[in-house]
Amino acid sequence: MKPEDRIEAHDGEVNAVKWSPSGTMFATGGSDRKIKLWEISGGKCQSKGILTGSNQGIMALDFGIEENYILGASNDFASRVWSLTDQRLRSTLTGHSGKVLAAKFLGDCSKIVSGSHDRTLKIWDLTRIACIKTIFAGSSCNDLVTLQGSNIISGHFDKRLRFWDSRTDSSNTEIMLQGRLTSLDVSSDRSQLLCCTRDDSLKVIDLRMNQVSSSLYADHFNVSCDWSRAVFSPDGTYAIAGSHDGSIFIWNIAKEKVERVLKEHNNAVLACAWHPSGQYVLSADKQKKAVLWSDI
């Protein structure tokens, strides 16, 4: 992979980066309280709009499956939904008593689940713009993913993964890892879960067995913060994560081995995102910059 373009994406940390499901655009979220929308044209990142309304930094992003809406989780204790057609703020979801570090659309995008520093998950009904369920998780939620139907997996400060059915209040499974969780990503076939932890490793969980199937380490790989985001490649054979020194590591999961180290950032890389086609990777760092990488 080679760096195709470099952009000054935000004024400060770029905490989140996310491709739309079709790969036609991507979004970045920063500590400057903005979400920015981008398109790729001729190998360059072109700005397509700025979404405002958050009162503190954006920590996580999610696109609706139809790409009509984008969801942003914020340090101001709220989550917000913007329309992508007119780039206007549609809904503000308040009720958490701590930073909202994770938020995802549930199912058909009529509901949202958010996870917070306040040790709860909340389910929101977007038609009523109301919280319809609060789940007490017992530890700060750093990230979460949604599976088919009503199933949610959350990753926590207390080093635990918790598995939930959003129709009930209790966790039906817990898995203890060696470090506190910073991010979760589900493979496209929904069979594997990638976990980034503060013990400077990535773990792959086989979701059929609920067991660790691969452990990914590397010399000089250091997870930089409690919201460092690692992701699978679209086919689930590779994992990518940024390090404290600005390096980006790509592992072959089956071999549990680093295949590439990418160097273009001078500061801690906080988030990575792989294009749905596999053609591009995005990386974002602590000092304003995002880099678009392309396959040679």
How far apart (Å, rounded) are the C-alpha atoms in residues 130 and 287?
Answer: 36
Cα 210 to Cα 204: distance, rounded to the nearest angstrom = 10
Q: Give the residue-averaged pLDDT of 225-246.
A: 97
3-state helix, strand, coil in the chain (%, to 5): 0, 55, 45
**Bridge partners, residue 82, by sequence:** 70, 89
What is the rounded average pLDDT of the residues 234-238? 97
Which structural domains are found in the chain, ordered by start?
2-294 (2.130.10.10)
| φ, ψ (nearest 5 deg) of residue 83 | -80, 135
User: What's the confidence (pLDDT) of residue 166?
Assistant: 83
Overall average pLDDT of the 94-122 stretch: 95
Averaged pLDDT score across all residues of the chain = 96
Cβ within 8 Å of residue 117, ≥6 positions away: 96, 98, 99, 100, 101, 140, 141
pLDDT in tens, 23-81: 999 999 999 999 999 999 988 999 999 999 999 999 999 999 899 999 999 999 999 99
Q: So what's the pLDDT on residue 296?
A: 47
Confidence at residue 294, expressed as pLDDT on a 0 to 100 scale:
94
Backbone angles phi, psi at 235, to 5 degrees: -90, 0
Asked if 236 and 264 count as a contact pair (C-beta separation under 8 A), the reply is no
Nearest CA to 212 among 238, 192, 198, 226?
192
Q: What is the pLDDT of residues 251-268, one digit of tens each?
A: 999 999 999 999 999 999
255-259: Cβ within 8 A, 24+ apart = 256/214, 256/215, 256/216, 258/218
